[in-house]
Structure 1
Amino acid sequence: MIVQRGCILVRKILNITSWVLVGIVAVLAVLLFGLKLFGFEVYTIISGSMEPTHPVGSVIYVQKVDARTLEKGDVITYKVAGEVVTHRIYEVVIDPENPEHIQFRTKGDANKDPDQSGDAGLIQPNNVIGKVAFGIPVLGYIAVFMQTSAGKFAAISLVCIAIALMIIPDILFPKKKEQKTDDKKEETEEENEDNKEVKSNE
């Protein structure tokens, strides 16, 4: 009985561990790749200009929006000089001669001054990738690691370990329900035969 209980406990521990690993891999897959299916672009914060809102190592989720709906205070991701930048809108600049033409002056939360001085270098609507919907701290470190060979190997290893932990319990501790069922059937058949013999003798 003690050995049987020990086997059951080990089986449960291995099963729980395997499902935990599967859950971790699934959550990371959804956060780093799955949300792209819902229109989000995923970026990793690599500088401290947006701290403390989005600290270094955070992952941000950017959603495409109509630039005309953007307001002062919105955090946007945009392209400038071949780089992707995420800063807050400091000012929405409207062309007095053409009110439909808007531009954006931006500023990092941790920076003292806006990114653009005067009208030079203002962000054009067609350079805006989207508005930051939300961010998750630290996840960016994992995202960067997952892009390396070691990270990809680690991810594949986790999946393999999870699958192995699901299979190992059945190999090491096979269930005996079928054997017990067969034994019960044999006992029932023997009892029926004995009953038949008793009736025939009577």
Structure 2
Amino acid sequence: MKKTLKIISNMITIIVILNLIFMTLLVIYLKASKGEAQIFGYQLKTVFSGSMEPTFLTGSVIAIKQLKADERGTLKKGDVITFQTSKKLLVTHRIVGVTSKENNVQYETKGDHNKTADTDLVPSQNVVGQYSGFTIPYIGYILDFAQSKKGTSLLLIVSGILLLGFAIFTFFQVMRELEKKTKSIETNENTI
């Protein structure tokens, strides 16, 4: 029974420490990257609308491969791209048509869930990246919350509380062990 409790205690300790480290690193990384999180050369973007459902759901995180200037004009019909609109918004839609005039490539785009194509053509220089096929549903809500002031505060407070709880737990565990050793020494001295 003691061995099982010790194993469970160790597992909880490891989980708390890993959770603490993860939350702290997440907050630091998101603040340092200013929301432009990158992993292994792919940029992570949160999906805020349902225009591409069912390809990816609202609240999902998608990975896009950033494209170099010479790659932006080589995309084809069916590719999913992230581009900047004239209003400086980032949109991720599928290419449904490609037009080329005097080395100026433009893309007609459409959200998979939308009934009609987007009204404006996308110049190739406005393309930021191409969807890599990697999606994590709903995690975008967490990342978006973590980037807010309330989210950052909450994650840091929770991390602090977990750290304090872990310190108190460890303190009482050490005190219990010391008490056992002290009793054991006293018992041995009394029997001599």
Please indicate the TM-score interval, normalised by the length of the shorter structure.
0.7 to 0.9
Structure 1 position 107 matched with structure 2 position 110 = yes
Query: Highest Rg: 1 or 2?
Result: 1
Identical aligned residues as a percent: 32
Counterpart in the other structure of 2:121: 122
Q: List runs of 5+ in structure 1 lacking aligned partners.
A: 188-202
The CA RMSD measured in Å over matched residues stands at 3.7
Return the alpha-carbon distance in structure 2 between the equivalents of residues 137 and 15 of structure 1: 29
Return the alpha-carbon distance in structure 2 between the equivalents of residues 36 and 10 of structure 1: 35
Structure 1 position 167 matched with structure 2 position 172 = no
Q: CA deviation at 1:110?
A: 0.6
Alignment check: 8 A CA contact 2:61 2:138 kept: yes
* Correspondence 1:25-44 to 2 at 5 A: 25=23, 35-36=37-38, 38-44=40-46
Alignment check: 8 A CA contact 1:18 1:165 kept: no
Alignment check: 8 A CA contact 2:24 2:156 kept: no
Query: CA, structure 1 residues 165+103, in 2 after alignment: closer, same or farther (shift >3 Å)?
Result: same
Structure 1 position 21 matched with structure 2 position 19 = yes
Give the SS at the match of 1:85.
strand
Q: What is the TM-score normalised by the length of structure 1? A: 0.69
Tell me which of 54, 57, 64 is aligned to 1:55.
57
Query: CA, structure 1 residues 37+8, in 2 after alignment: closer, same or farther (shift >3 Å)?
Result: closer
Query: CA, structure 1 residues 18+57, in 2 after alignment: closer, same or farther (shift >3 Å)?
Result: same
Return the alpha-carbon distance in structure 1 between the equivalents of residues 10 and 40 of structure 2: 36
Q: Which amino acid aligns with 1:12?
A: N
Give the SS at the match of 2:122.
coil
Aligned pairs, number: 176
Give the SS at the match of 1:132.
strand
Counterpart in the other structure of 2:73: 68
Tell me which of 78, 83, 96 is aligned to 1:78.
83
Q: CA deviation at 1:143?
A: 1.9
Give the SS at the match of 1:173.
helix
Cα-to-partner distance string for 1:88-147 (whole Å, 9 max, x where unaligned)? 01112122xx3x32111101101122113xxxx321111111112222210111122112
Return the alpha-carbon distance in structure 2 between the equivalents of residues 10 and 40 of structure 1: 38
Query: CA, structure 1 residues 128+113, in 2 after alignment: closer, same or farther (shift >3 Å)?
Result: same
Q: Which amino acid aligns with 1:168?
A: I
